[in-house]
Structure 1
Amino acid sequence: MRVLGMLSGTSHDGIDLAVVDFSVHPGEHGDVLRARLGEHRTVPYSDDLRADLVAALPPGRVDLAQVCALDVRIGQEFAAAAASVGEGFDLVCSHGQTVFHWVQDGTVRGTLQLGQPAWIAEATGVPVVSDLRTADVAAGGQGAPLVPVLDRLLLAPFLARGASAAALNLGGIANVTVCAPGRPPRAWDTGPANALLDAAAGGVDLDGRLAAAGTVDRAVLAELLAEPYYALAPPKTTGKELFHPGYLRRFSHLATADLVATLTELTVRTVADALDGVDVVVASGGGVRNPVLLSGLRARLPGLVVSDELGCPADAKEAVAFALLGYAGARGWPGNVPSCTGARGERLLGRLTPGRSPGNPSWSPPGTSRWPVSLDLSPAG
């Protein structure tokens, strides 16, 4: 089955997409999931949609008319991105755009992703899986991270050699999945990555030029590290409800380069503290393109490699993960990992919007097959 995975992350700069051809094959120690990665790229949001989206995010205030319009417009841009894919696919899995993650007293009460999937189904003619987080939240989970379904397969070869391993995603928010032999995986958001860096820089600073030009302010760093979120025990999740541009107003006395350098060190410290003692760290996300951030992490985490070295392009990894979640739903596999999200148990994730084509297959999960034990991921061709 060929699945198109789509999402826009907490950097809300565009739509990441990846087509993955999945199949299951018997292996020496259990089933092997074969994944062949096809077209993958990022489609930028239109300037006006991104501006309206940024204005609507916390601490901005919007009315229901604006929410409705954003739901439609995001859905239409996802639909146009899906229709632009040059190869065929059988199913779309769309995460959409998170606009609010409702956390109260450390408990996730709800989560809202916009991007009406009916526009994608109409544009492509194939079924669309969406609303992937709510079932986990209803089961007492954080609704995130969901990428551990992929991470545990990517990291399995390291565990087979007796090593501990972690997957690190450096998006708007940094999140980790930590695996050790004989133990259930754990996952959580460690804190901000690009979210505060972009806010301080007034735009994306992936080349790290501002951070390289600035000096870390140790007093400000200490104040940032006192944020209560870092002391919470996993599982825990966060987002721009906490780490938004207004979070930085108290540091307006700092020069921009010094603030960016200090925030870069904040991400290095919080990630390194979370992964202290882990043997291998596999990093992905836009943050790996920032040489200052990456070199700081390598100095503290000598076992760090970029996911490209495992056959999974760093910029496409989350889109691959959501393609996998769509395939999981079609196979009847649970999409959450309770030890990572805190849910009461495994749940089938997502709801299905049918395609428009005659004879379009329905989503009828068998509910009897089990997750494969390993992953064979490579480019198509």
Structure 2
Amino acid sequence: MRVIGLMSGTSHDAIDAAAADLVLDGDTLILVPLGLVSDLYPEALRGALRAALPPSATTLKEVCALDTRIGQAFAALAVRADRELCGERADLVASHGQTVYHWAENGRVHGSLQLGQPAWIAEATGVPVVSDLRSRDIAAGGQGAPLVSLVDTLWLNGRPGVCAALNLGGIANLTAVPKGGAPLAFDTGPGNALIDAAAAELTDGRLGYDADGAMAARGTVHPGLLDRLLTEPYYARPAPKTTGKELFHPAYLRAALAEAGSVAPDDVLATVTELTARTVADAARSVHATEVIASGGGLRNPVLMAALGRALAGIALRTSDELGLPAAGKEAYAFAVLGYLTAHGLAGTAPSCTGAHHPSVLGSLTPGHRPLRLPEPGRGAPSRLEIFRR
């Protein structure tokens, strides 16, 4: 089955579309990456999205408009991916959509809202679309995240020691896969969220992120600000746990800066970069990780990666590219896998990772132009994911 996975993360700056050939061979799901295309949100749409995110107020009219406009942007990229990567032969699209709110209170998730109306994708591509992948796990008592944890578990199963997959998006998440043990997954805290917020705040919006870590490289970590940021109670909560920009947003950073006193802009960037590295490393040590396999947009920040390498001293740090899965599109490929599982009636969650009462088949299905014919159910759920590079 040829599947396109669509993803826009908590940095809400761009959409990724990854295409994959997927086939189940016995208990092994084989993934052949066909390529990745990405596109930035139009600036007006990104601005409207940013203005609607918590803690800002919004209206149902704005939510409706965002659902349509994000759906149209996803649809345009899906058409491009089908044409450029699949030769117009895609069988399915799996769309994560754009998370705008993750409703977590007192350690429990009550709902998670992703915008990007799938009908626009189905209409534009003509193929079925799996969407709204988080809600079923939440209804089953889970966190609805990190959903990539099942894919990580299948992919890293059998590696020696405790292998941990790390995604450095706006929010960082970790999946620990101990050999012979139950996997565990959780959000570690801010990945790029506070780095991006600091860059925008301290340049009056001139920069949306710290390109190549340039500001952080010029600065020095401010001990008082770092200590203040590390007091955040979220870090001490037990897994499984999830968070988002509902917590780690610009106003959160402003409050910390107000308590820390005068801190030079470059020092702020150095400090929040160190915060991400420190909290990720603390999380990796809490699960006794022996190696960390990293992916996500944070890999493009050399200062963050150097800080993470230092913080992980004694724990091997690699990228997912080294294991055959392109780091820039890993999450989009993961959602292609989850869409494949849904189409085959197979569960897409690992309860030990999300905290759900049982595994669930994920998502809602929007038909394409042709009569909807789902594949025959597979012989059973895969226990391994193998990446085959052509």
TM-score range, shorter chain: over 0.9
| Contact 1:206 1:287 (8 Å CA) reproduced | no
1:32 CA drift (Å): 1.8
Q: Which residue of 2 aligns with 1:237?
A: 242
Hey, what's the Cα distance between the residues in 2 that align with 1:32 and 1:336? 17
Equivalent residues in 2 for 1:217-366, closer than 5 Å? 217-250=222-255, 251=257, 253-276=262-285, 277-301=288-312, 302-357=315-370, 360-363=371-374, 366=377
Q: Which residue of 2 aligns with 1:15?
A: 15
1:49 maps to 2:45: yes
1:92 maps to 2:93: yes
2:118 aligned partner, one-letter code: P
1:89 CA drift (Å): 0.8
When structure 1 is superposed on structure 2, of 306-315 and 247-256 the one drifting more is 247-256
2:217 aligned partner, one-letter code: A
| Contact 1:191 1:238 (8 Å CA) reproduced | yes
Give the TM-score of the pair, scaled to structure 1. 0.94
Q: Which residue of 2 aligns with 1:71?
A: 67
| Contact 2:158 2:179 (8 Å CA) reproduced | no
**Taking structure 1 as reference, are residues 138 and 169 closer, same or farther at Cα in structure 2, changes over 3 Å only?**
same
| Contact 1:6 1:18 (8 Å CA) reproduced | yes
Q: How many percent identity over aligned positions?
A: 56
Hey, what's the Cα distance between the residues in 2 that align with 1:311 and 1:65? 43
1:283 aligned partner, one-letter code: A
Hey, what's the Cα distance between the residues in 1 that align with 2:194 and 2:308? 17
Hey, what's the Cα distance between the residues in 2 that align with 1:293 and 1:157? 29
Q: Give deviations 1:128-167, integer Å, cap 9, x for gaps.
A: 0001000111111111010012111221241xxx411100
1:59 CA drift (Å): 1.2
1:364 CA drift (Å): 6.2
1:347 CA drift (Å): 0.6
1:83 maps to 2:93: no
Q: Which residue of 1 aligns with 2:204?
A: none
1:15 aligned partner, one-letter code: I
Hey, what's the Cα distance between the residues in 2 that align with 1:233 and 1:53? 31
Q: Which ranges in structure 2 are unaligned for 5 or more consecutive residues?
A: 201-207
Number of residue pairs the alignment of both structures matches: 370
2:246 aligned partner, one-letter code: E
Q: Which residue of 1 aligns with 2:177?
A: 179
Hey, what's the Cα distance between the residues in 2 that align with 1:369 and 1:74? 37
Hey, what's the Cα distance between the residues in 2 that align with 1:206 and 1:182? 40
Hey, what's the Cα distance between the residues in 2 that align with 1:44 and 1:67? 20
1:372 CA drift (Å): 2.0
Give the TM-score of the pair, scaled to structure 2. 0.92
**Taking structure 1 as reference, are residues 213 and 365 closer, same or farther at Cα in structure 2, changes over 3 Å only?**
farther
Hey, what's the Cα distance between the residues in 1 that align with 2:156 and 2:227? 33
2:198 aligned partner, one-letter code: A
Q: Which ranges in structure 1 are unaligned for 5 or more consecutive residues?
A: none
Q: Which residue of 2 aligns with 1:370?
A: 380
2:275 aligned partner, one-letter code: L
1:206 CA drift (Å): 4.0
